[in-house]
């Protein structure tokens, strides 16, 4: 049975606080007609600190898409190997044991993907399958878990490496002053993560069932407008309310597995914002504390896109994990509007 092992997570050294973010919004957009609303929305995200790959004054500059994408590639190559080594160590594997590498990122572009560079620079087999995922946004971390699960189900002796790399600050656009853009400027952070799914052996979450669901007619609610200046983030005001149609999909997945989604032992979900977690608590009928790991990620790191679900899981490991055979749900939500969902049991021993 495929097992999701302990994730390794790293965030950059430059830190900005919510107080600094609010002051920057006041100084740069003093004449914005909806400045007060923007400030309240940023305060209500629950984000206290975020980590950036550059000092904030450099982040606020825009040297052009070419330079930003160059920086994206350089930072990815500098930061990803560390989390890959730690994830392999936590899974008791070596680079040569990897059969599939899944690389997820929506904040920069490389071709060939970073997967090719990792194979060449870290000693992965030249036969390693490569699966880059670039356009699932925040849902991509959970999608990577599901695709690794599928692969290890098809090849029970195989191992899959998941890498998530998000430098959201490199998508900052100083000319975008819509409410959604100003909110995103106080919500998103940077970070990288890696985790191994073992087809055989390993301790962590034994993956049992996965599924996907797309809310019809919402494909333009979370999107990129790609211009000469790079990726311009578009966020529809209806996005915070998407848990109402998505919660039944989570419940249906659990029902199909013979589980009650309201009576599981742990919940690891993507924290796009506090409204998402509050609504999930309401619609799934679970206590707010069930999402404490996701809230902690949001508070300390902000929304780190595909990295979030791996960091929230890392926090569960840091707490000592769950009881053996404890049942849990992992889920990520992103553009589409898409949900990627996983059910599994905690395994304390390989």
pLDDT of the residue at 1: 87
pLDDT in tens, 137-176: 999 999 999 999 999 999 999 999 999 999 999 999 988 8
Q: What DSSP string describes 189-257?
A: -EEEEEEEEESS--SEEEEEEEEEEEEEEETTSEEEEEETTEEEEEE-TTGGGTHHHHHHHHHHHHHHT
pLDDT in tens, 297-347: 999 999 999 999 999 999 999 999 999 999 999 999 999 999 999 999 999
Residue 45 has pLDDT above 80, yes or no: yes
46 or 343: whose pLDDT is higher? 343
pLDDT of the residue at 81: 98
pLDDT in tens, 105-118: 999 999 999 999 99
- Could you tell me how many helices (H) and strands (E) the chain has, helices first? 11, 14
Among 5, 106, 138, 165, which one carries the catalytic annotation?
138
Confidence of residue 13 (pLDDT cuts 50, 70, 90): very high
pLDDT of the residue at 101: 98
Q: The domain 3-198 belongs to what CATH superfamily?
A: Thiolase/Chalcone synthase (3.40.47.10)
User: Rounded distance, CA 95 to CA 307, Å?
Assistant: 21
State what percent of residues in the chain have pLDDT above 70.
100
Q: Which residues fall within 8 angstroms of residue 257, CB to CB, at 6 or more apart?
A: 208, 209, 343
What is the pLDDT of the chain when averaged over all its residues? Answer: 94
Confidence of residue 34 (pLDDT cuts 50, 70, 90): confident
Most confident of 43-47, 274-278, 323-327: 323-327
Domain residue extents for the chain: 3-198, 204-347
Q: Do domains 3-198 and 204-347 have the same CATH topology?
A: yes
26 or 294: whose pLDDT is higher? 294
Give the mean model confidence (pLDDT) for residues 121-146. 96
pLDDT in tens, 219-272: 999 898 999 998 988 888 898 889 999 999 999 999 999 999 999 999 999 978
Residue 288 has pLDDT above 70, yes or no: yes
pLDDT of the residue at 350: 66
pLDDT of the residue at 36: 87
pLDDT of the residue at 348: 80
Closest CA to 234 of 179, 284, 153, 271: 179
Alpha helices in 29-177 (DSSP H): 35-43, 56-59, 65-90, 114-122, 140-154
Known active-site residue 106: no
Confidence of residue 38 (pLDDT cuts 50, 70, 90): confident
Q: Find the length of the chain.
A: 350
Confidence of residue 287 (pLDDT cuts 50, 70, 90): very high
Q: Which of 41-55, 169-183, 209-223 has the lowest mean pLDDT?
A: 169-183
Q: What CATH code is assigned to 204-347?
A: 3.40.47.10
Task: Tell me if the pTM is above 0.75.
Answer: yes
Residue 281 has pLDDT above 80, yes or no: yes
User: Rounded distance, CA 63 to CA 72, Å?
Assistant: 13
Give the mean model confidence (pLDDT) for residues 90-104. 98
Closest CA to 270 of 218, 321, 336: 336
Structure-block tokens of residue 334: 């992103």
Residue 51 has pLDDT above 70, yes or no: yes
């Amino acid at each position: 049975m495929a097992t999701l092992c302990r994730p390794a997570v790293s965030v950059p050294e430059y830190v900005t606080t919510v107080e600094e973010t609010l002051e920057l919004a006041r100084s740069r957009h003093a004449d914005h007609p909806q400045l007060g609303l923007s400030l309240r929305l940023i305060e209500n995200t629950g984000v206290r600190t975020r980590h950036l790959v550059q000092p904030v004054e450099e982040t606020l500059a825009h040297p052009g898409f070419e330079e930003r994408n160059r920086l994206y590639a350089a930072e990815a190559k500098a930061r990803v190997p560390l989390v890959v080594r730690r994830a392999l160590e936590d899974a008791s594997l070596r680079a040569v044991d990897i059969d599939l590498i899944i690389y997820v990122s929506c904040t920069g572009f490389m071709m060939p993907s970073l997967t090719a560079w990792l194979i060449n620079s870290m000693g992965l087999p030249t036969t390693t399958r490569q699966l880059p995922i670039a356009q699932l946004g925040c849902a991509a971390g959970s999608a990577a878990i599901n695709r690794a699960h599928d692969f290890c189900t098809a090849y029970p002796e195989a191992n899959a490496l998941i890498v998530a790399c998000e430098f959201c600050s490199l998508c900052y656009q100083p000319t975008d002053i819509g409410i959604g853009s100003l909110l995103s400027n106080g919500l998103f952070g940077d970070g990288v993560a890696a985790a191994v799914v073992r087809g055989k052996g390993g301790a962590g979450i034994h993956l049992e069932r996965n599924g996907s669901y797309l809310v019809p007619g919402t494909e333009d609610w979370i999107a990129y407008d790609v211009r000469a200046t790079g990726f311009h983030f578009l966020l529809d005001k209806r996005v915070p309310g998407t848990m109402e149609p998505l919660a039944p999909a989570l419940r249906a997945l659990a029902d199909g597995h013979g589980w009650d989604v309201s009576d599981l032992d742990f919940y690891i979900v993507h924290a796009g914002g506090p409204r998402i977690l509050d609504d999930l608590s309401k619609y799934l009928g679970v206590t707010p504390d069930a999402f404490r790991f996701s809230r902690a990620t949001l508070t300390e790191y902000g929304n780190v896109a595909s990295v979030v679900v791996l960091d929230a899981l890392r926090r569960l490991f840091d707490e000592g994990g769950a009881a053996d055979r404890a049942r849990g749900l992992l889920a990520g939500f992103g553009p589409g509007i898409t949900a990627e969902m996983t059910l599994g049991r905690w395994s304390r021993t390989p």
